[in-house]
Every structure is written in C-alpha cells, then in structure tokens.
Structure 1
Amino acid sequence: MLADSSATNRWQLLRWFISSATFSVPQAAGPITFSLVALSLTGDASRGAAIVLAMTLAQVAGAIPAARLGRNRPAATFLRLLVAIRTAALVLIATLAAGGAPFIWLILAAAIGGSVNGAAHGYLRSVLNALTPAERLPRALGVAATLNELTFVVAPVAASGLGSVSPVFAVLALAGLGAVPILLVPQSRAAPIDGMLHAGGSVLSPPILLWLLCSLAGGAAVAAIEIGAVALALRFGYEPALAFLFTVPLCVASVAGGVWVSLRNRMATRKGVLIQLSIMTLGAAFVALEQSVATTVVGAVLVGSVLAPLGTYYSLILDTLAPPQRRTEVFALLRTANSSGVIFASAILTIASLSATLIGVAGLMFLATSAVAFATYRRQSRPSRV
C-alpha cells in the first residue's frame, strides 16, 4: 500500500511539473510570436509589445478578483477553468489575425486571456503545496524552475520558426500547448479556500512588498530582453527570426540556475539573494550598453543565471510571509508583480525607444537591489520577518 501511494504521489507530481512547464508556453513564446503577428499585420514588429502590454495589464487588474472567485471551489478544478478561458482568448487572437482584423481587436482579445493568468498561476502554485511536503518544496520548485526555463529555451525558437512561416499557426500552437494543464493538472488534496475574503493578515505588508518589488524588477529585466529581442536583432543587422540569439542564452543560463537550486534543495540566505540580485543588475546594465552582440549576450546570461534561484526564493519566502488562508492571493500577486515588470518594459518600448527601455529596466533593478541591501543591513541590527 505504501509503495502504491508513493508511486501515485510521484505520478501526480510529474503531472504537476508538466502542467507548470506547459502553462508558461504562452508567456515564453508570446513576445516573439506577437511581434511577428504585428509585423505581418502592420509592418512594425515593435507593436507586438502592445499585445503583451494589454495581456499583462489585464493580468494585474484581474489577479486578485479572479483568485477570489474560486475560493469555494477545488483549486485544480478552478485552475482548469481559468486555463480554458486563456486558451479561448488565444484562439480568438489567431482567428482575428487570420482574418486581417483591426489590430485593436487583437489587443482586446489578449486582455481577456491575461485577465485570468495571474489567478491561474496562484492556483497552480497552491496545488503544489498539497502535493509536496515542506522539506521537499525547494527541490520541487527548483525542478519546476528548470522545466520552466527549458520552456523558455524551446518556445522562442519554435515561435521564431513557426512564426516565420505562419504567425497565425504559431499563435495556435502556443494556445494548444498552454492548454495542457486542463488535461494533466492533478486533483490535489487542496480544499476550497473558504473564508478568503475574511481571512486575517495583510497581503501587502512591507516584507511582502519588498519581494514583490524584486519580482517586478526581475520580470522587467527578462521582458526587456525577450520583448526587445526582435528589435535587438534588427539593431545588430540580423533577420527578425534570429531574435532567439538573445533569448536562448538567457534561458539556457536559467536552466543551469534551476538545476543548481534543485540539487541544493534548501532556501538561500539573505546575503546570497543580495549577491544574486547584484548579478542580475549587472547583467541588465550590460544589455543596456548595446555595445555589441557579445556584450548583450553576456548580459542576458548574467540575468538568466540567477533567474531561477531568485524566483524560487521569492516563492518560498512569500509562502512563509503570507497569511495561511491567503496564500493563493499572494502567489497570484507574485505572478502579477512579475507581470508588472513586463508592463514596465512593454510600456516604455511602446512609447519610447529600445535604448530607453533597457536603461529604465537597469535602473529599476538597481533600485530593487538597493532596497534589499538596505533591508538586509537593517535586519542585522534589528531582526525582522523580511
């Protein structure tokens, strides 16, 4: 009986890992795919940032309301519903693009899909808590981060290849892969989140806000590279389809970081996190220099190398800081903060130049790193929960 139970638990965890990896496909492939869609419809690849911006703005607005709508339903069941809504919105984008609809309709369809994305991530993360004991959570998150970054390695390359042939087919492909959690996410032991609306404890306490700021800055650093990849390729005289020259090194480095977290299987120290944030800030600065392809790739590698360790730390620390009955909300806020970084990068890229975007993102990373440094040294003189 124990062997059967252990095998069942491993199978459920494997299903969750696959669900987590495929859930990220639209986010991983979206920037390049939407840039190529915009290029085919308007002749301007940078307008794809407007689709990403609409999707992420809607995610920020809808994260907490959508998460609360599922408080009386099983987490896995409500997750499937949210993923189904996102999938339908992506199929609608492909249909509109195929029909040559006005670009504004694609933006509105993207907003529909984005409105449920943050809450879906929160429920997906909550399901993991029910599948994994606390002492194994760092390793599970590390494995998830590694698989997630493998998705970010493969998806942009596939999007570039498929998008160069047919941007519409590329959108349909990412919609189909992103729908896999509907079929595979395990029905966990997690109960409906009763009393969420009346649960005590703030989800926006100063310690939580600090790590949400770091997630926001990191999201902006990654988004500036990924959304600006096509523009970077054009800047250095390459074809748009070679945008993966900048995204793949970032993601390969992040895969290595995820493997390191999985093998280590313990939570990083605060000083270690500060060093990792400093590395990401340096990488963002290298990318902002725009001196050469080599310098830009080195910057992308630095950013990617600490992406998984930092993401794992944020998830673990917020798990401890969040009020028990409001963890799903906090996990949704974590994804929302990361998406707010995407908004920051997308907004600047939409209204200003690529150079302004990269400089602004580097400045935001420096601000977040400085905030953690200040909190760390303050903590040494007066212990706190941060």
Structure 2
Amino acid sequence: MSIGDPDHAETKSAAAAAVPSGRWMLARWAIASSTLGFPQAAGPVAFALVAVALTGDASGGAAMILAMTLAQVAGAIPLTRLGRGFAMATFLRLLVAVRTVALVAIAVGAASGVSLAWLIALAAGAGLVNGAAYGYLRAVLNRLAPASGLSRALGIAATLNELTFVAAPVVASGLGSISPVFGIVAMAALGALPALLVPNLGPAAAASGEGADEASHRAAGSILRPAILLWLLCAAAGGATVAAIEIGAVALALNFGYQPALAILFTVLLCIASVAGGLWVSVRNRRAPRGVVVAQLVVMSSGAALAASCHSVATTLAGAILIGLVLAPLATHYSLILDSLAPPHRRPEVFALLRTANASGVILASAMLTAASLSTALLVIAGVMAVATLAVGIASARRR
C-alpha cells in the first residue's frame, strides 16, 4: 500500500482520532473514580451535622458511618456476583443509582425530622453498594487502558482520590453550616457523577467473561487463595494505619496539648504526602518490583511505629508523612497484582474484596480507638502493619 493511498490516509486519520477519544474516556473514568468515594469522604462531617441537628449529639453520625461501612463489607461479594450477567458499566450505574436514592432519602428524612434509627438504616442502604461499585469501576479500567498504562491511570486516580478526601469534608462542613440537609444533597449529587461519567463499553463488556472460557475459570475454585489473601491483608493493614491517623487526629492533638482544631496538621500532611506519592506513580508508570514493594511496606511500618511512639509532635508528623508517601504506590501495586492474580471474569469480585479489606482496616482502627487508649490503639495497628510487611517479606524470600 502506498503512502498516498486514500485508504491508508483514512486509517491513519482514524487512529489519530482514536487517541484523544481514549484519553477522554480515561479522564472520565478518573473523575468517576474520585467522585465515587465522595459520600464516604464527606460522610463523617455531613452525618455528624445531621445527628447534631436531630439529637444534639454527634455520636449518631458515627453510628451512621459505622452502619455504612459494615453494610459495604456485607454487600461487596453478593452484589458483585449478582452483576455477573450484566454489562459492567450498566450494573455500575445501577449500583450508583441505588446509593443516590438512599442518600436522597436521608436528606428528605433529615429535613422531615425522622428518627435517627431510620437514618442509620438508610446509611446502611447507601453503603451496601460501595464495595461492589468500586469493584466494577476498577474492572472497567481494564477495558479502557492498555496494560502498560494501568500504573499511570491508577496513580492519577489515587491522586484525585486524596484530593477528594481533602475537599469533601470542607464541602460538607461549608454546606452543612447553612443546613445539614445541604451537605447530604451534595453527597448525593457528586456521588451520582460516576453513573454519568463511566464510559459505555457496549453489551459485550460483561463481568462474566472477557473472551475466555468461563467453565475453565469456574474450575479454578475459590478466589481466596494465599497469594490473593496476602495482598488483601496488606490492604487491610494499610487501611487501618491510615485510618488511625485520620480518625485519631483530634486525640493526637489533645495528647500533645494542642487545640482540637490543630488536628488538621496530621491529616493534611498525610494527604499532601499521598498526593506526592500518586504523582510519582503516574510519572513512573510501571509496576514496582517485589523488592521495592517490600521497602515501601517497611516505610509504612516505620511511619506507623513513629506515630505509635507518641514521642513528640515532630516524630508523629514524620510518621504521617512516611505513611502518606507510600500510600498511593502501595495501593497501585495491590490493584495491579490482584489484577494479574484474578481470573478475568472474577476481577470485579476481587477488586470489591480489595475495597472491603481496606474498609475492614478502617473498622479495626475505629474499634481500637474507641475501646482502647490512643497509645495502645496505635501500637496494635503498627503491629498489624508490621505483620503484613513480614508476611510479604517471607513470601518474597520463598519466591526467590
């Protein structure tokens, strides 16, 4: 075929036109990924303001968050399996729609002055779909990005997610100061964006198979193999470590004799470090070798140990920075390694388990900070992180 062939020129033109389209779809996916977590990021503040308006006690907001998180853990696998026969994007939209309806119901209930028990039940309904929605959204990325671009896409998503977790409480607080209902409405509106943004992959892109023989995948049995459980353990330990800093920030400030408002020092530095880690992953754009991952886990364990020492503000802040720096690289690695370990038709399920493991870590941190002293809770969580690091180190040594 000659260079001047019109067919050749048309092919080149079509290929060139496809690149911006692909980039636009990836951009839509990244925004969908960041807004999917907005209700969870804004929930602690928004729910607390609603609870205070109804009962005069912010603890009702904590109960709503706990119900949302427990429901997420309970619903992740059943709902993910329920969607196997649907196109992934279609089922994701359905899950987001269910959550949006539940959040709108919370706003209406709060405005009507219903009992806190009803709001807790509705919060559980909103949280029920979170794990499955994340699993399907992450599986959609495999259809949009080539394997060589997954690290960059996940790094960008991690960076945007951290910005969401910084901005969401501010938005909820600002709107909630006008009316607590406004904060819930913002959660519902922004949390609904993934349903509008997720690219339509067509009827062929179902979760039950990606061109592979489904019977052979079923023969593989349970997905909870040791190799997968190892990284789920790491995700849970990392989630607990981060949550210990974020949830315990006020307690840390009080422990060092500062005003509660200065708790923002610990959370903001952790988020800034995490954004820097996400940018590093995006620029590097390749999967880290096992030795680097072990080193990153050691850094997170060291950060957890520094925070648990409660020696001084400086050491605790240094611990928060160390945790934040490796948060995005480790999260990206967990997603990539589980992507390679999971059978194609069960990827949404495995990614839902990844989100569930992270939520389980948050539950552990919340329970420890509630039931034990600050120093004891931080020590236990640092120990869990050290165990996960040791487990990966031993597995790497055996592999070699």
Give the TM-score normalised by the residue count of structure 2. 0.87
Instruction: For 1:135, give the aligned amino acid.
Output: S
Farther-moved stretch of structure 1 (336-345 vs 84-93): 84-93
Give 1:33's aligned residue: 46
Q: Which runs of 5+ in 1 are unaligned?
A: 381-386
Q: Could you tell me how far apart the structure 2 residues matched to 1:44 and 1:359 are? A: 30
Residue aligned with 1:12, SS: helix
Give 1:22's aligned residue: 35
Query: Is the CA contact 2:60–2:116 (under 8 Å) kept in the aligned structure 1?
Result: no
Change (3 A) 1:355 1:207: same
Change (3 A) 1:92 1:354: farther
Residue aligned with 1:188, SS: coil
Which of the residues 193, 198, 211 maps onto 2:207?
A: 193
Determine whether 1:266 maps to 2:266: no
Instruction: For 1:335, give the aligned amino acid.
Output: R
Query: Is the CA contact 2:274–2:324 (under 8 Å) kept in the aligned structure 1?
Result: yes
Query: Is the CA contact 1:52–1:346 (under 8 Å) kept in the aligned structure 2?
Result: no
Structure 1 residue 37 displacement after superposition = 4.0
Structure 1 residue 367 displacement after superposition = 1.5
Q: Could you tell me how far apart the structure 1 residues matched to 2:253 and 2:170 are? A: 14
Q: Could you tell me how far apart the structure 1 residues matched to 2:331 and 2:142 are? A: 16
Where does 1:56-205 land on structure 2 (aligned, <5 Å)?
56-189=69-202, 191-194=205-208, 199-201=218-220, 202-205=222-225
Structure 1 residue 273 displacement after superposition = 1.0
Query: Is the CA contact 2:38–2:165 (under 8 Å) kept in the aligned structure 1?
Result: yes
Structure 1 residue 283 displacement after superposition = 1.8
Determine whether 1:251 maps to 2:271: yes
Farther-moved stretch of structure 1 (334-343 vs 87-96): 87-96
Post-superposition Cα deviations, 1:230-260, rounded to whole Å, max 9, x if no partner, equal 44455554355x6533322211111100110
Change (3 A) 1:349 1:33: farther
Q: Could you tell me how far apart the structure 2 residues matched to 1:340 and 1:25 are? A: 19
Quick one: percent identity of the two aligned structures? 65
Determine whether 1:284 maps to 2:307: no
Query: Is the CA contact 1:71–1:192 (under 8 Å) kept in the aligned structure 2?
Result: yes
Query: Is the CA contact 1:66–1:116 (under 8 Å) kept in the aligned structure 2?
Result: yes
Q: Could you tell me how far apart the structure 1 residues matched to 2:151 and 2:92 are? A: 23
Post-superposition Cα deviations, 1:114-149, rounded to whole Å, max 9, x if no partner, equal 111111001101111000111111111111111112
Instruction: For 1:331, give the aligned amino acid.
Output: F
Query: Is the CA contact 1:37–1:168 (under 8 Å) kept in the aligned structure 2?
Result: yes
Give 2:259's aligned residue: 238
Give 1:383's aligned residue: none
Give the TM-score normalised by the residue count of structure 1. 0.90
Instruction: For 1:154, give the aligned amino acid.
Output: A
Q: Which runs of 5+ in 2 are unaligned?
A: 1-13
Q: Could you tell me how far apart the structure 1 residues matched to 2:254 and 2:335 are? A: 36
Farther-moved stretch of structure 1 (14-23 vs 274-283): 274-283
Residue aligned with 1:266, SS: coil
Post-superposition Cα deviations, 1:3-27, rounded to whole Å, max 9, x if no partner, equal 2222211111111111111112122
Where does 1:333-348 land on structure 2 (aligned, <5 Å)?
333-348=353-368
Determine whether 1:218 maps to 2:238: yes
Q: Could you tell me how far apart the structure 2 residues matched to 1:370 and 1:103 are? A: 43
Where does 1:297-308 land on structure 2 (aligned, <5 Å)?
297-308=317-328
Query: Is the CA contact 1:76–1:188 (under 8 Å) kept in the aligned structure 2?
Result: yes
Q: Could you tell me how far apart the structure 2 residues matched to 1:176 and 1:8 are? A: 26
Instruction: For 2:151, give the aligned amino acid.
Output: P
Query: Is the CA contact 1:223–1:342 (under 8 Å) kept in the aligned structure 2?
Result: yes
Farther-moved stretch of structure 1 (325-334 vs 308-317): 325-334
Instruction: For 2:218, give the aligned amino acid.
Output: A
Instruction: For 2:259, give the aligned amino acid.
Output: Y
If you compute each CA radius of gyration, which structure gives the higher value, 1 or 2?
2
Structure 1 residue 290 displacement after superposition = 3.8
Structure 1 residue 342 displacement after superposition = 1.3
Change (3 A) 1:318 1:44: same
Which of the residues 324, 327, 339 maps onto 2:344?
A: 324
Give 1:384's aligned residue: none
Change (3 A) 1:52 1:130: same
Instruction: For 1:312, give the aligned amino acid.
Output: T
Q: Could you tell me how far apart the structure 2 residues matched to 1:288 and 1:48 are? A: 27
Determine whether 1:377 maps to 2:397: yes
Change (3 A) 1:279 1:167: farther
Number of aligned pairs? 379
Structure 1 residue 166 displacement after superposition = 3.9
